Structure 1
């Protein structure tokens, strides 16, 4: 039985163990950034598919990216509009980001703040976590903690009793927008319909 209390899940994540919890999109498989290799191994995920760095607030994520003053302004405007929510921004990575997060191209990183009380509670106490959907690579995302517990019995999953008041995620992965240096490129259309008007450019 790997379903654990919120407190034990947070302790486990801080200690470098793989954990799983609900978000506003699909349930996450997560680890501290330095232990991201565990996620690739567990999911049987190709090294060229980077993970997403998820945090409780945008302020926790900005140190992991780098850009010009103008770029930060554009990024923050979009983040302020859609976060917390189902939007992942792919931005140039700073030196602070462990290379295991994106082994093939450590120069970029996807970042997101989920619109989920339980996820934010966890992330506020663990700090930013490397995340991806909870499933074997190439298969549909698992939608419940019970499914995850069956498929990944050795991972710490959040006990059902801990999130009974939580609204279930929409079951659709986040929209992914990549910064090209001058504007945004949609890599995946997902949970959020993005309005990329001209004011989101440098």
Structure 2
């Protein structure tokens, strides 16, 4: 599969194909929320390693979150402070959100601080994402490497340097809402 334009990538993503595009951290491997099994299969990823839902706005996360939760306002304030950026918030999921990651009642959400990623997500809606690599291997940082490693993935190759390292290379900081408040699960690019 060749590297494609943004418009072709969006069309492929909407039709349910696996796609890859740059973000502020490492390039994303992304798929429509109803096609999560495709990422697990491609990456040979264990089902106990959940995927992150990425979107262009807070509103797009709401169908996937437990919006009846008494702490919704705190989550929204935290999201306003840290989004867009390299922070993933892990929050109690709605019934629909629980279907995205087998065996989980929470969902990691993130809005990337990347004009390219936002432009794509504004057109595709929320996408399930992970780093572009086989499980337990380092994330691939160049779009050309991703295209070579995953020929079946539709990879963005237009209006960007496909030979350049994409993003900071640092993972997002993952923080989970618990009964006692926020707990840092993975220290990444941002101090929380």
TM-score, normalized by length of structure 2?
0.94
Aligned twin of 1:199? none
Task: Please give the alpha-carbon distance, in whole angstroms, between the structure 1 residues aligned to 2:130 and 2:165.
Answer: 20
What secondary structure is seen at the aligned counterpart in 1 of 2:185? strand
Q: Contact 2:97/2:106 (CA < 8 Å) preserved in 1?
A: no
Partner of residue 163, structure 1: 160
CA distance in 1, matches of 2:25, 2:6: 19
Task: Measure the CA separation in 1 of the matches of 2:122 and 2:138.
Answer: 28
RMSD, aligned CA: 1.7
Aligned residue for 1:162, secondary structure, equals coil
Q: Distance in 1 between matches of 2:21 and 2:67?
A: 31
1:111 and 2:109 matched: yes
Aligned to 1:50: 50
Contact 1:172–1:191 under 8 Å retained in 2: yes
For the 8 Å contact 1:93–1:108, the answer to whether it is kept is yes
SS of alignment partner, residue 97 of structure 2: coil
- Report SS of the residue matched to 2:134: coil
Distance 1:162 1:78 in 2: 33
What residue in structure 1 maps to residue 170 of structure 2? 172
Report SS of the residue matched to 1:147.
helix
Distance 1:125 1:54, change over 3 A: same
1:64 shift after superposition: 1.1
Conserved 8 A contact 1:2-1:154:
no
Equivalent-residue separation in structure 1 for 2:73 and 2:182 (angstroms): 14
Alpha-carbon deviation of 1:104? Answer: 2.4
Pairwise CA distance, 1:181:
2.5
- TM-score of the aligned structures, taking structure 1 as reference length: 0.89
Equivalent residue, structure 1, for 2:84: 84
Give the match's secondary structure for 1:29.
strand
How much does 1:148 deviate?
A: 0.4
Question: Alignment length, in residue pairs?
Answer: 190
Gaps of 5+ in 1: 195-202
Instruction: Map 1:51-70; keep pairs closer than 5 Å.
Output: 51-68=51-68, 70=70
